[in-house]
Amino acid sequence: MMMGLPLQGLLVLEFSQYLSAPSAGLRLADLGARVIKIERPGTGDAGRKLAIKNLWVDDSSLLFHTINRNKESITADLNNEEDRALLLKLIAKSDVVLHNYRPGVMEKKGFGYEALQTVNPRLIYAEISGYGKKGPWKNKPGQDLLLQSITGLTHTTGNGQQAPVPFGIAIADILCGAQLVQGVLAALIRRQKTGKGALIELSLMESLLDFQFELLTTYYTNGQQPSRSDRNNGHPLLGAPYGLYATADGHIALAMMDISALAKAINCEPLEQYAKDLVFSSRDEIKATLAKHLVTQPSAYWLQRLHTAGLWAMEVLDWKQMRDHAGYKSLRMEQQIKTANGNITTTRCPIRINGQRLFASAAAPQLGEHNEKVKNELLNH
């Protein structure tokens, strides 16, 4: 880890599980904060057992390791008076508390914002819920696929004749975690000026609605659902040729471009009949014409012509192809995490500070691994 990280000296307590708040804790740790997970004795963060493709490391899921590296772990039972007293002493010395439990859970245990503010008025208390703390959906399960579905996001991906299509990643969790970090950093800046703590609240639903601001603003204005292309859909608000197209040996992506310039670049005479003002009204017709033409030559052939003409196009890579590419290698996005049973290759923090990339080789903690260390360093004096 580089010296002088901006959040060094900050103490963060993470009462959280699965992905959203733990991803926020991960980024704070990457930026130098000391992040301590508070976990249930015996079981810990439920994400420890959330195995993807049955991949495990040190008795925890590989997924848990990717989102909890560079943290510490202590165990505490919120129903046990001795553990509660220990946690309150720790909170009095902390800068930030994170949690993503359902509304009312932390309050019921005596660890809500108002209760902890009396213990530490300078505390930044940051929480994530599924749908907000009020309203008819507040107790619904805050799971990523369910949120993608209820916010209409699944109607933006895939072709028009297809059923709704979800993202292939936990987009709500990751977005909301990133926005939680933004809120925490803003509150820390204000605290530096005023000495006051803050309550930061986010929900997965609000993060996904914000994610769709472009589409929703259009819908609020004209009252019309976004219309996906029947074929080669890339963005429901953009006209042809925007989308992905098969070639003789793979696929290429075409972004926004003048349709006549495209016709000239790829020598496609049938495209020349379409004026600029037809790229949305005749979107599928144009795309069908284009698809028929592009499948006749390999990707490299088309990309050479498109790039020579200054048009925005790119090959579509899978992860193996991407990883072999010099452009990917130059970013140095991979790092090694050292575990008891060997190393894990994962991604690094994408932020650079003063030209330096942020690497951290510490693995995710074993359950309760730092019980004695935290007591000795923070509580026994």
Q: How many angstroms separate the Cα of 369 from the Cα of each of 22, 72, 119? A: 17, 7, 26
SS3 content of the chain, % helix, strand, coil (to 5): 40, 20, 40
Q: Domain 243-324 adopts which CATH fold?
A: formyl-coa transferase, domain 3 (3.30.1540)
3-class SS at 334? strand
For 205, other C-beta atoms within 10 Å of its C-beta total: 22
Burial class (CB in 10 A: 0-12, 13-18, 19+), 108: exposed
Q: What is the architecture, at CATH level 2, of domain 11-211+333-379?
A: 3-Layer(aba) Sandwich (3.40)
**Within a 10 A sphere around the Cβ of 10, how many other Cβ atoms?**
20
66, 94, 41: which is closest to 174 by C-alpha? 66
Decide: helix, strand or coil at residue 317.
coil
Residue bearing tokens 């109607």: 155
Tell me the catalytic residues: 173
Are 48 and 58 a contacting pair, CB within 8 Å?
A: no
* Whether 211 contacts 220, CB under 8 Å: no
CA gap 217, 150 in Å, rounded: 18
Q: What's the pLDDT score for residue 264?
A: 97
* DSSP code for 51: -
pLDDT at position 53 is 73
Tell me how far apart the alpha carbons of residues 334 and 244 are, in angstroms, rounded to a whole number. Answer: 28
Kindly report, residue by residue over 156-212, the tens digit of the pLDDT.
999 998 999 999 999 999 999 999 999 999 999 999 999 999 999 999 999 999 999
Q: How many residues does the chain have?
A: 381
User: Alpha-carbon distance 322 to 320, whole Å?
Assistant: 5
Predicted pLDDT of residue 366: 94
Q: Which residues of the chain have pLDDT under 70?
A: 1-3, 381
Contact between 157 and 166 (Cβ < 8 Å): yes
CA-to-CA distance for 358 and 297, rounded, in angstroms?
42
Domain boundaries, the chain: 11-211+333-379, 243-324
SS3 352: strand
Position 59 scores a pLDDT of 81
Pair of tokens at residue 329: 């290698």
